Amino acid sequence: MNKRAVSHPKTTSKTSSPSLTIQRLFGPPQLVEGEDPDAYDELLGHVCTALRPVDVIDEILINDFVSSEWDVLRWRRFKMSLIRAFEVRALEDFLPARLDYDHCRKCFQDILIEILEDNLTEGQTRDDARRLARQCVLDEPAAVDKVNQILDSVRPDTDWILNPAKMDMNTILNRARARKAQELAQNYVQQKPAAIKFVDKLLATASLSIDALIVRELPDALDNIERLDCLITIAENRRNGMLREIDRRRAMLGEALRRQVQELEGEFKVIDKKQKVRHDQRA
């Protein structure tokens, strides 16, 4: 019978995966909130495929290597997130003064609706407040007068910008500009095309670039960036050290294997020599 016909195929069960074996031995990876465990598993799988662990010592080294590499990626991501945060802050400082009423009309209406809903008069409903806000945004005189009367009776909280002791249309408009600036800044760093096109146009009008804005904010961030760079370097050194340990161990295993092969070849030569002597004696 053909042996190939009865040979058992190589198992493809996940239980035989080196990466799953490592996870069973050392437990789940230590991830911070928001990190993707599937991405960690994929990294571990790629490293196991490249290094092909042969025993538990290899598995320990691989586990430590992948953990160190993940630290490198994490600190680099934190550094980029910090720079993006300063980018957002720079845009939030730059944009409000460049936004006119048409740019922030929707935000103006939303804020006005919030105020009117919080200050309903007797017999008014939320639908009435929304209707009045829309009419005011359309600059209908009666609606504008009614909204001004309501605003005169409203005492703003300390969260309102500019003059917190008085609520008026200008105060709401400034708040709308600030809210729209926050929205644009977030959309810009998220690489949304419409926001990028609009913000870049405003920057060009002011003879500025996004880099120029970020540089203005960087002095406040340099200490934190430097600390993150130190943490990245530490993690990289630890990762590189683990890789050197893996290389050293593989070299030692390779040398041991070569010695074993040489010993086996020597034994075969002795056996072959004895067989040759016996053959000559018989002849």
pLDDT tens for each residue of 63-86: 999 999 999 999 999 999 998 898
Taking the C-alpha atoms of residue 107 and residue 178, their distance in angstroms, rounded to an integer, is 9
Q: Which of 136, 132, 139, 137 is nearest to 116 (CA)?
A: 132
How buried is residue 265: exposed, middle or buried, by Cβ count under 10 Å (0-12/13-18/19+)? exposed
Per-residue confidence band for 6, with pLDDT thresholds at 50, 70 and 90? very low
Determine which helix (DSSP H) or strand (DSSP E) holds 210, and give its type and residue range: helix 210-217
What percent of the chain lies above the pLDDT cut of 90? 40
Higher pLDDT, 147 or 277: 147
Question: Given pLDDT bands bounded at 50, 70 and 90, which one contains residue 53?
Answer: confident
Tell me: pLDDT of 95 over 90.
yes
Model pLDDT for residues 217-240, shown as the tens digit of each residue: 888 888 999 999 999 999 999 999
Q: Assign 203 a pLDDT band (cuts: 50, 70, 90).
A: very high
Cα-Cα-Cα-Cα dihedral of 138, 143, 149, 152, to 10°? -10
Residue with tokens 């009666």: 142
Per-residue pLDDT at 4 exceeds 50? no
> How far is 270 from 247, CA to CA, in rounded Å?
35
Q: In whole angstroms, what is the distance from residue 89 CA to residue 82 CA?
A: 11
pLDDT on residue 282: 62
The predicted-structure confidence for 14-52, as pLDDT tens digits, reads as follows 445 778 888 888 888 889 888 999 999 999 999 888 888
Measured in whole angstroms, the distance separating CA 282 from the mean position of its chain's CA atoms is: 79
pLDDT in tens, 117-160: 888 877 788 898 899 999 999 889 999 998 888 888 876 554 54
| Distance (Å) of CA 201 to CA 137, 186, 214 | 26, 17, 17
State mean pLDDT over 178-194.
94
Mean pLDDT, range 159-187, rounded to an integer: 81
Q: What are phi and psi of 29, to 5 degrees?
A: -65, 150
Specify the range with the lowest mean pLDDT, choosing from 8-12, 47-51, 67-71, 172-176.
8-12
Element (H, E) at 84: helix 56-94
